[in-house]
């Protein structure tokens, strides 16, 4: 317990280590995080035509009020560039919007693959309750450790700091696990000949696996005792995860657009409940607009059968039937 009785190196009075490599790594990680945040900020306003929707706002707040102040705050703390209170306030605000914000970003596009409303509500309340239970004690112990510095408070901070990181990572594992599970189920339902959609689905699985590996790497650095390195690495990891989340949504939209613009004969059966295009219009405004269809009421657009996709014999039979119906309608008995 002796290690837990000492304040982390970098929380009070800056980073006291003499490792030049550690200082370089902290600067590199912080620079990458700020670059990714600025790039995402620009991409959000270039990609979205209407600036509303849960996905847009969770992503924007995670970048502007999350990654950026978290990175700047810890740079001010670790290199003693400003008063301690300023660095603590900025890093705390950034943590509020960056770490729980990542879970809200995951939740905001979960409805694209999960149709069960009970599961969606459970995930939402899980994020809200966990945020309240973990953020408040972490904030109190952070400022108490910086200004009170008693042994019980320092121990409490060291415990809660590790606990909240592990808990939020486990929460993201859970949400990503739901996404991967539903994606695998959808792959089983897809036509074998539809290589385009299958390729995109496998890419989505890989992206989610990479997000999980990034969380594992962050946990490894945290529990090996590199506090100063972990705080800057955290900002970089979360900025990368936000960029990957942006890529995930782009793949989903590409999948919808491919389905609309390139119908195949394999789509005569009802399409799996993967993406409801009406739920995308509020978040992703570059998705292809919905076109009016002459499909009978109660039938989905992808259930209609194009004449070109039918065998020649059946095509002739349908044309013959259609001509007889037309003839009967023009010559009533």
Return the residue matching tokens 């970089």. 236
**Whether the Cβ atoms of residue 254 and residue 200 lie closer than 8 Å to each other:** yes
Give pLDDT, residue 260.
47
CA–CA separation, 45 vs 233, rounded Å?
A: 26
Mean pLDDT of the chain: 77
Alpha helices by DSSP H, listed for 2-116, are 20-47, 54-62, 68-78, 84-108
How open is the CA angle 114-202-268, to the nearest 5 degrees?
65
Measured in degrees and rounded to the nearest 5, phi and psi for residue 224 equal -90, 0
Give pLDDT, residue 204.
77
**Whether the Cβ atoms of residue 244 and residue 276 lie closer than 8 Å to each other:** no
**Whether the Cβ atoms of residue 230 and residue 221 lie closer than 8 Å to each other:** yes
Sequence ranges of the domains in the chain: 3-261
CA–CA separation, 91 vs 149, rounded Å?
A: 19
Enumerate residues 6+ apart whose C-beta is below 8 A from 109: 55, 245, 248, 249, 252, 283
**Whether the Cβ atoms of residue 109 and residue 245 lie closer than 8 Å to each other:** yes
Count Cβ atoms below 10 Å from residue 72 Cβ, excluding itself: 21
Give pLDDT, residue 90.
94
Give pLDDT, residue 303.
42
Low-confidence ranges of the chain (pLDDT < 50): 1, 259-295, 297-311, 325, 333
In terms of Cα–Cα distance, which of 196, 241, 208 is closest to 113?
208
Q: What is the pLDDT of residues 134-167, one digit of tens each?
A: 999 999 999 998 898 888 999 999 999 889 989 9
CA–CA separation, 219 vs 199, rounded Å?
A: 31
Give pLDDT, residue 320.
60
Q: Give domain 3-261's CATH number out of 1.10.3470, 1.25.40, 1.20.120, 1.20.1070.
A: 1.20.1070
CA–CA separation, 248 vs 199, rounded Å?
A: 13
Give pLDDT, residue 138.
92
**Whether the Cβ atoms of residue 56 and residue 44 lie closer than 8 Å to each other:** yes
CA–CA separation, 283 vs 167, rounded Å?
A: 28
Give pLDDT, residue 276.
40
CA–CA separation, 330 vs 333, rounded Å?
A: 10
Q: How far is CA 317 from the centre of its chain?
A: 50
CA–CA separation, 149 vs 43, rounded Å?
A: 43
DSSP secondary-structure letter at 297? Answer: T
């Amino acid at each position: 317990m002796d290690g837990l009785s000492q304040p982390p190196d970098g929380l009070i009075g800056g980073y006291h280590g003499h490792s030049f490599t550690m200082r370089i790594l902290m600067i590199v990680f912080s620079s990458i995080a700020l670059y990714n945040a600025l790039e995402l900020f620009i991409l959000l306003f270039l990609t979205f035509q209407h600036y509303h929707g849960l996905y847009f706002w969770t992503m924007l707040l995670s970048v502007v009020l999350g990654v950026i102040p978290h990175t700047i705050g810890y740079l001010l703390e670790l290199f003693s560039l400003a008063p301690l209170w300023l660095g603590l306030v900025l890093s705390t605000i950034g943590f509020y919007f960056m770490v729980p914000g990542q879970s809200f970003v995951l939740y905001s596009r979960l409805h694209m693959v999960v149709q069960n409303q009970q599961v969606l509500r459970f995930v939402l309340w899980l994020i809200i309750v966990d945020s309240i239970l973990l953020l408040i004690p972490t904030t109190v112990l952070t400022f108490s450790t910086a200004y009170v510095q008693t042994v019980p408070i320092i121990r409490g901070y060291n415990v809660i700091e590790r606990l909240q990181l592990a808990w939020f990572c486990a929460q993201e594992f859970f949400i990503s696990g739901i996404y991967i599970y539903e994606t695998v189920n959808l792959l089983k339902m897809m036509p074998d000949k539809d290589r385009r959609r299958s390729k995109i689905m496998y890419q989505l699985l890989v992206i989610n696996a990479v997000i999980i590996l990034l969380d594992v790497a962050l946990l490894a650095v945290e529990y090996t005792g590199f506090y100063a390195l972990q705080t800057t690495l955290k900002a970089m990891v979360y900025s990368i995860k936000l960029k990957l989340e942006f890529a995930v949504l782009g793949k989903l939209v590409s999948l919808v657009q491919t389905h609309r613009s390139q119908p195949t004969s394999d789509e005569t059966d009802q399409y799996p409940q993967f993406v409801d295009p009406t739920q995308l219009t509020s978040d992703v405004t570059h998705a292809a607009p919905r076109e009016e269809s002459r499909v009978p009421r109660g039938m989905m657009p992808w259930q209609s059968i194009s004449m070109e996709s039918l065998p020649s014999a059946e095509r002739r039979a349908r044309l013959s039937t259609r001509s007889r119906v037309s003839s009967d309608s023009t010559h009533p008995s």
